[in-house]
Structure 1
Amino acid sequence: MKKFTYLFILTLLSAVVSATAQTNDAGAFHGAQPTKDRYRAVYQLNTADTNVIRHALANIQNALNDPRLKGKLDVELVVYSGAVAAYRKDKPYFEKEVTSLQKQGVIMAMCENTMKMRKISRDELFPIVSYVPTANGELIIREQEGWAIIRP
């Protein structure tokens, strides 16, 4: 009886593995297909961690390069808290990436509430930066408008 049970389980597992392999066939799945004329995404960035900032900027570029979204994607990067480092003139670690993204149409938004709390003036930030009263307010409004919220 043990041998029969063992063979039954082995046969069942083989069938499951076979079915899974068929549904995961590399040629069968091609990812989501774009069905809309426009897509909108807002990226939320609130950390001074340079690796996270660099990763977020790369993620935005990857989305812009996605052939399914080419010419159909509106993007906004909302920066607040420690992520203000991404826009600072005195620490231009990200100037090249931020400028390149802005030239591709990405809105570079900065939270004025963060600026007030940290005593940062507009003169300290790249001239390509736009401003919103609060990052949270911007995210709430954008989400209600149907924008995808991306948190790198």
Structure 2
Amino acid sequence: MMKLTYLFMLAFLSALAPAMAQTNETGVFHGAQPTKDRYRAVYQLNTADTAVIRHALANIQNALNDPRLKGKLEVELVVYGGAVATYRKDKPYFEKEVTSLQKQGVIMAMCENTMRIRKISRDELFPIISYVPTANGELIIREQEGWAIIRP
């Protein structure tokens, strides 16, 4: 019985240790600490829902503004499907945000497969857009390279 109690206590303390390691001397958690020189995230966007698109763009800006990630974060936004509205010249609802993010180094990628299916030419999109053959291929490659995949 004593051995079982000891094993239970050991398991409990092992589970508690990581949580304790994330707090300061006052016991308050202040978030994960950056331990790497570089972080990379790819956001995928495939809906025409304007609220979701705005939310995704705001999320990217929030990540860029995080003081823990300043100067360490590389971001790509991969757009496909209905989210093509994000990059369209004839519906410039998001032009200000997209341009601002691109000026901050965010790669604005558009799926050429979506363009082909929807018969959209490059002339219909903002000139700052980059192109990938398929969004899914881009996400697969980025994930294998160690990029965080964010699905807003």
Q: How does 1:1-152 map to 2 (within 5 A)?
A: 28-152=28-152
List 4+ stretches of structure 1 deviating above 2 A: 23-27
Which stretch of the first structure deviates more once superposed, 23-32 or 118-127? 23-32
C-alpha RMSD of matched pairs (Å): 1.4
Shift of 1:99: 0.1
State the identity as a percent. Answer: 91
Partner of 1:4: none
Shift of 1:53: 0.2
3-state DSSP of counterpart to 2:137: helix
Partner of 1:11: none
Unaligned runs of 5+ in 2: 1-19
Describe the superposition over 1:53-93 as per-residue Cα deviations: whole angstroms up to 9, x where unpaired: 00000000000000000000000000000000000000000
Aligned residues: 130
1:62 maps to a residue whose letter is N
3-state DSSP of counterpart to 1:108: strand
TM-score (norm 2): 0.83
3-state DSSP of counterpart to 1:117: helix
Shift of 1:134: 0.0
2:115 maps to a residue whose letter is M
Q: CA separation in 1, counterparts of 2:140 and 2:56?
A: 20
Q: CA separation in 2, counterparts of 1:133 and 1:103?
A: 23
Q: CA separation in 2, counterparts of 1:132 and 1:93?
A: 23
Unaligned runs of 5+ in 1: 1-22
Q: CA separation in 2, counterparts of 1:84 and 1:139?
A: 16
Q: CA separation in 2, counterparts of 1:74 and 1:132?
A: 17
3-state DSSP of counterpart to 1:115: helix
Q: CA separation in 1, counterparts of 2:61 and 2:27?
A: 27
